Structure 1
Amino acid sequence: MPAQTLHEQNSWRSTRPSHPESLTVIAEQVSIFLTSDNIVIALFENSADDIEVPNLTRLNSPSTILQQSCDASTISQAIIDVIIDMAIPVRAPNSATVRFRDLKLIH
Structure 2
Amino acid sequence: MKVVFYCHFPDLLLAQHTTVLWRLYRKPIDFIEEITTGMADMILVNSKFTASMFTNTFKHLHAREIQPAVLYPAVNMDQFDVPHSYKLNFLSINRFERKRT
- TM-score, normalised by the number of residues in structure 1: 0.25
Determine which structure has the larger helix proportion and give its number. 1
When you count strand as a share of all residues, which structure comes out higher? 1
- In our comparison, the structure showing a higher alpha carbon Rg is 1
TM-score norm. by structure 2 comes to 0.27
